Amino acid sequence: MLRFTKSKVIAILAAVILGILLAVPSMMTREQRVAFQNSIPSWVPSWLVPTSAITLGLDLQGGSHVLLEVDVPDLLRTQTTQLRDDVRRILRENRISLQGGIQMVQRGVQIRVPQQADRDTLLPRLRELAQPVGNAILGPTGNNDIEITTTPEGLITLAYTEAGVTERVRRAIQQAIEVLRRRVDAMGTTEPNIQQQGADRILVQVPGLQDPQQLKELLGRTAKLEFRLLGQTGAADTDMLPMREEGGRRVPVERTVIAEGADLIDAQPAFDSRTNEPIVNFRFNIRGAQRFGDATARNIGRPLAIVLDNEVVSAPTIQSAITGGSGQISGNFTVEQVNNLAVLLRAGALPAKLTIIEERTVGPGLGQDSIEAGTLAVSIGSALVAAFMIAAYGFLGIVAVVAVAVNVALILGVMSALGATLTLPGIAGILLTVGMAVDSNVLIYERIREEARLGRSAVSSLDQGFGRALGTILDANFTTLLAAGILFFLGTGPVRGFAVTLSIGVITTVFTAYTVTRLMIAGWYNYTRPKAIQI
Amino acid sequence: MLIRYFPTNTKFEFMRYRRMSFPFSALLSVLTVVLFFTVGMNFGIDFKGGTLIEMRALGPTADAGAIRDRANALGFGSVEVQAFGDGREVSVRVELQPGGERGQQEVVARMREAFEDAYEFRRIEVVGPRVSSELVQSGTLGVILALVAILAYLWFRFEWQYAIGAVVATLHDIVLTIGFFAITQIQFDMTSIAALLTIMGYSLNDTVVVYDRIRETLRKYKKRPIGELLDQAINDTLTRTIMTGLSTGFAIIALAIFGGEVLRSFSYTMLFGLVVGTYSSVFIAAPILVYLGLKQGAETAAPADATAAAAE
């Protein structure tokens, strides 16, 4: 137990020094870290010098955590509307008119085509709408996203399959993440984290935010912009949509979309030169400009509805053909509203409505307070434990304190290396590890004491003491690791951070007990050569 | 060195104390169950859903009464206002609003409108109905999974009797900690689950150390009565139990005093758990083995004794 080969000693020391080096940047303030980084000569390869500090959780650095969920029914509604439009287009192209029109059914649409000849021309075209659904790992699964069924009476139903819905949700999530990233980036924050969670959720984490309200406004809006003509009340193919002004009075709006948000290439907040009212200036791409120009030329004198998220923002009358490919949106906005609207239009519309189902925001002041309180608690707690150990065990107490100090450095080092996040409960986890790491030393010392009392020689009591205690240490710590592991898989955010620190702490505790403590005691024994152990 | 003043070779008869400790623990457990169903726990928004806002007055003091009146006037149903810290800080808890996930969003906006002028918003947490019910599920699942994992591990490393004993002791700790939450009305949230699992980890750590020694003692003495052997094993590890308990206690006390408001209830829970966990290892987990019919000296061809091998 007390003999170490030279290579082993070197390996242990190397591991400890590496751990401490990795931990050093985390101990520095941001300014010191930058200065340190700049002071490294350029010929030193960057991987050789650790400069990255532990990532602080949102509860410590302040920031917002927002969990969004795709509104699947809303997504399906959009998708079936799309399907209806596709079917209508195919009908028109083949000059087939229906009795009863296109009926919306569960997850799809239904049409009645009594003529066999019509059905024969229609069906192949309709089948083209269905796409095979596959996945990246298995390739095509042989399922289609849309199932087409017919009855002998001529009833044709097109409906999304289960696989089709899953596929749409998956694609919507991918698309939404892109859109959200553009929106959050437009806020100019540093290191936002946007990732998928589960099948239909997106987690957005933005550190160091001053105003979470703006973030939520940017995240929660679908921002679907459409230019449509105002129609006649009661006319076919119109939707009754509420006005943003005038107490939400509903007006008929034609279903045909002249141009939409996807046709924009730019949108900027500005002020109207005459009224000084905040507005958004936008520019169309070529396709959009063409369509918008044609439509306005054909409909001079009619009101054009600017529809945002199914709400009529304003409905100015078309004075002349707008062929320049640019325009403006006004509607009694505040400056802040036009700023947000411009960001939303530039970033594009979300493929479906997203609902905020969880929000956790910590202000930067509270985060700083938490760091200070946590650091203070760890310092005082460690000092107390150290004083207690030295008072109780004398020299061996010092060995224990060194072992625990190495342990804490290793925890920080491993966390920096793994890119793990330190949260406030995580700091509690470190302090708890300090308390419990002492346990392994206590176990070893008590065992040595016992063996010495049985009248064994110094070397034999040390040997036996270590040998027996290490088995216990392993068993005892493994159970804590089990609990921490489960906490990791089930917890989120700060709690997960706690589980990470606790798990790493347990592992480094066992490591230091096996190596650092043993090495120090072996060194002490070889130096003093006591006949008997007296503790 | 203080350790020299610790009595060695103590001869406490822990097996006799079980006639007191078992009924005592049983009584407390029953009391907890009664409390749980009558008084109940103070569930936080993690599990109940709703909105939690922490504000700090921009001026010298926060007027909790005025905040309560104004918040109540907003018409969000039950609103709990609590001052904490240095008198400038207030936490406001608004119950889950009707209207599903979207219903919650209005609370924060209206609260901001009402208080933004005089208060800094330091923390905002909104948990919708779906997330809260998921957290209840994963919290419960976590505790159950941990128990099962422990049962399996101890069965594998020791014998089934030890596994049963440890699980009974751990359940005892969980139940009493829940009682602690019911009595103190400390808010029970996800952090509390973390505390609960840590308590389980610590208590088990303690129990395993004692069990390790029991197993060793049983192998060494094949003829002596089991009660005596259990007593000896507990006495042999007593110094360690106390030393570790004290040092962990120091760390937690520092956390409770200096760790700030957020960690305070976590620290109190941990401190309670430390006491209960230590108690249960000595007075529940070990004595209960008497009833479970441990085989003495049966483990001669036991799983390779790592400690003996490592000693060479």
Report which of A236, A228, A184 is spatially closest to residue A65, judged by C-alpha positions.
Answer: A184
Whether B304 shows a pLDDT value over 60: the answer reads no
Kindly list the residues from chain B whose CB atom is less than 8 angstroms away from the CB atom of residue A468: 216, 307, 311
A361 strand-pairing partners:
A64, B124
The 10 Å CB-count burial string (b at 16+, else e) for A455-466 is: ebebeebbbbbb
> Tokens 């969000």 identify what position?
B76
Dist. CA A334–CA A315, nearest whole Å: 18
In this prediction, residue B3 carries a pLDDT of 74
Q: Which domains does chain B have, with CATH numbers?
A: 15-42+132-310 (1.20.1640.10), 50-127 (3.30.70.3400)
Residue A445 maps to a domain:
yes
Q: What is the pLDDT of residues B20-51, one digit of tens each?
A: 889 999 999 999 999 999 999 999 888 888 99
Q: How far is A501 from chain B, CA to nearest CA, in Å?
A: 12
| Model pLDDT, residue B311 | 40
The whole-angstrom separation of Cα B15 and Cα B7 is 20
Q: Is B127 on the interface with A (CB under 8 A)?
A: yes
Same-domain status, A428 and A308:
no
Q: Which of A132-136, A250-254, B88-92, B259-263 has the lowest mean pLDDT?
A: A132-136
Same domain? For A312 and A390 the reply is no
3-state secondary structure of A314: strand
Judged by average pLDDT, the poorest of A214-218, A351-355, A522-526 is A214-218
Provide the number of structural domains found in chain A.
3
Is residue A375 domain-shared with residue A469, that is, in the same domain? yes
Structure tokens at B307: 């400690």
Task: Determine, for residues B260 and A370 on separate chains, whether the beta-carbon distance falls below 8 Å.
Answer: yes
Asked if B1's CB is within 8 angstroms of A471's CB, the reply is: no
Q: Are residues A402 and A438 in the same domain?
A: yes
CB-based contact A371:A285 (threshold 8 Å): no
* Domain assignment of residue A76, yes or no: yes
Cα separation, A347 vs A203, in Å, equals 18
- Indicate the Cα dihedral angle A501, A504, A505, A509, nearest 10°: 180
Of all residues in chain A, the percent with pLDDT exceeding 90 is 8
A35 plus A141 within the same structural domain: no
In this prediction the ipTM stands at 0.85
Give the DSSP letter of residue B97: P
* Residue that terminates a domain, selected from A148, A168, A188: A168
Which chain B residues are within 8 Å of A370, Cβ to Cβ?
A: 260, 262
> For all residues of chain A together, what is the average pLDDT?
85
What average pLDDT score do residues B267-294 get? Answer: 91
In this structure, the answer to whether residues A48 and A76 fall within a common structural domain is no
Interchain CB distance below 8 Å, A476 and B204: yes
Instruction: Verify whether the Cβ–Cβ distance B142 to A486 is below 8 Å.
Output: yes
Task: Tell me, yes or no, whether A32 and A91 share the same domain.
Answer: no
Same domain, A402 and A501: yes
Residues A239 and A162 reside in one and the same domain: no
Residue A372's identity, in one-letter code, is E
The Cα of B230 is separated from the nearest Cα of chain A by a number of Å equal to: 17
Question: Which residue of B132, B250, B268 to mutate against A (max A Cβ within 10 Å)?
Answer: B250
Q: Cβ neighbours of residue A1 under 8 Å, at least 6 residues apart?
A: A462, A463, A466, A467, A518, A522, B310, B311
Establish if A378 belongs to a structural domain. yes
Mean pLDDT, residues A500-518 taken together: 89
Query: Do the chains contact at A381 and B250, CB–CB below 8 Å?
Result: yes
Final residue of a domain: which of A315, A334, A353? A334
Cβ atoms of B94 and B34 within 8 Å: the answer is no
Of A366, A377, A434, the CB nearest to B258: A377
CATH number of the domain enclosing A259: 3.30.1360.200
d(CA A342, CA A332): 15
In this predicted structure, which of A269-278, A347-356, A481-490, B51-60 has the lowest mean pLDDT?
A: A481-490
User: Both A47 and A94 in a single domain?
Assistant: no
Of residues A459, A462, A457, A460, the one with CA closest to residue A444: A462
Indicate if A327 and A429 belong to the same structural domain: no
Quick: pLDDT tens for B177-212: 999 999 999 989 888 888 887 888 888 888 989 999
- Residue A436 within any structural domain of the chain: yes
| Per-residue pLDDT tens over the stretch A93-150 | 888 877 777 888 888 888 888 888 888 888 888 888 888 776 655 566 667 888 888 8
The winner for highest mean pLDDT among A26-40, B141-155, B269-283 is: B269-283
Mark which residues 249-308 of B lie under 8 Å from A by CB. Answer: 249-255, 257-260, 262-263, 266-267, 270, 305-308
pLDDT of A190 over the 80 cut: no
Residue B10: φ, ψ to 5°:
-65, 155
Domain range for A76 is 72-168
- The answer to whether A392 contacts B209, with C-beta atoms less than 8 Å apart, is no
A206, two tokens? 């933005």
Chain B residues 129-158 within an 8 A CB cutoff of chain A: 130-131, 138-139, 141-142, 145-146, 149-150, 153-154, 157
Amino acid at B172: H
pLDDT number for residue A77: 87
CATH number where A401 lies:
1.20.1640.10
Mean pLDDT of A228-253: 83
- Give the span between the Cα atoms of A178 and A189, in whole angstroms: 16
pLDDT value for A46: 67
Domain annotation covers residue A202: no
- The two tokens of residue B291 are 């009833």
In a domain, A304, yes or no: yes
Q: A471 to chain B: which residues are within 8 Å by CB?
A: 212, 305-307, 310
Q: Which residue of A has its CA nearest to B150?
A: A479
Residue B64 has pLDDT above 90, yes or no: no
Q: In one letter, which amino acid is B158?
A: F
Q: Where are the beta strands (DSSP E) in A49-200?
A: 55-56, 63-70, 103-105, 108-112, 132-135, 139-144, 146-150, 155-160, 193-197
Same domain assignment for residues A317 and A370: no
* B204 vs A44 pLDDT, higher one: B204
pTM given for the model: 0.81
Whether A231 is in a domain gets the answer yes
Segment 61-80 of chain B within 8 Å of chain A by CB: none
How confident is the model at residue B307, as a pLDDT? 43
**Considering only CB atoms, which chain B residues are within 8 Å of A439?**
205, 240, 244, 247-248
